[in-house]
Amino acid sequence: MASKVLDLLYWRDVGTTGLVFTGLVVGLACLFQLSFITILSNLGLGILAFTLPVRFLYKALELVRLSDGSHPFQSYLDEDRTLTDEDTVRMAEQIVLLIATAVTKLKRLFFIDSIMESVKFFGLLYLMTYVGVQTNGLTLMMTGVICAFSLPLLYRLQKERIKMIVKAIKTLVERITEIFDLVVSLVKPPPAPAPAPSPAPTPKHKQKTK
């Protein structure tokens, strides 16, 4: 499954990728004007408007003995797309693992396990408030689809230049992180000194009775 997704994103099969990319963009663009239910209904009607006449045509040819009665879409019906028990368990385990990882990460961010990571998360959420004012979810989804199909191809064509830019950005982020950690260490009060141990009491010698 992952290899098929990578083949689509890297345009290894131009025809298939172009068809999927165009379908996704057109479908998301239609959602700006129509509801999701309307789009699904019209898509289903469009498919049936093509398959029903073709099936009736083959049936008519079979009745007048101009065809052997073969089903025009038998190859699609014979494809086995059912999931085995092992595939179902594997997918369920992956979904549960992703959810557990996301919950753990959010818990660490919200309850300040790392100050730097929580500050970054705060900045991201603050920027997202402005993004939410300027655009909506459908626009973000369309932008994400376009980026998903464009950025891998751009990376493959400009790999060396992108690596240099990423390296420079990482160096800058590391320097900013070091400065922030230094400021935090200067502001943070020093730990309280440990109390000195009390001296052990000296044993009293008993006086000898005469």
Domain ranges for the chain: 82-134
Alpha helices in 135-205 (DSSP H): 137-157, 159-187
User: Quick one: average pLDDT of 118-137?
Assistant: 85
For residue 100, the model assigns a pLDDT of 93
Please write the tens of the pLDDT for every residue from 164-188.
Answer: 888 899 999 888 888 888 887 777 6
Alpha helices in the chain (DSSP H): 2-9, 14-31, 36-63, 74-78, 85-110, 115-134, 137-157, 159-187
For residue 2, the model assigns a pLDDT of 66
How far is residue 100 from each of residues 103, 111, 120, 124, 133, measured CA to CA in Å? 5, 16, 21, 22, 30
Terminal-to-terminal C-alpha distance of the chain? 100
Q: With a cut of 80, say whether residue 210 has pLDDT above it.
A: no
For residue 90, the model assigns a pLDDT of 87
The better pLDDT of the pair 84, 109 is held by: 109
User: Percentage of residues in the chain with pLDDT exceeding 70?
Assistant: 87
* Residue 197 CA to its chain's centroid (Å): 56
Please write the tens of the pLDDT for every residue from 18-72.
Answer: 888 888 888 888 888 888 888 889 889 999 999 999 888 888 888 887 777 788 8
For residue 58, the model assigns a pLDDT of 86
Q: Is 67 exposed, middle or buried (0-12, 13-18, 19+ CB in 10 A)?
A: middle
The better pLDDT of the pair 82, 52 is held by: 52
Q: With a cut of 50, say whether residue 193 has pLDDT above it.
A: yes
Q: With a cut of 90, say whether residue 97 has pLDDT above it.
A: yes
pTM of this prediction exceeds 0.75: no
Distance CA 68, CA 54 (A): 15
Closest CA to 140 of 63, 31, 37: 31
Closest CA to 147 of 1, 28, 13, 3: 28
Q: What is the mean pLDDT of the chain?
A: 82
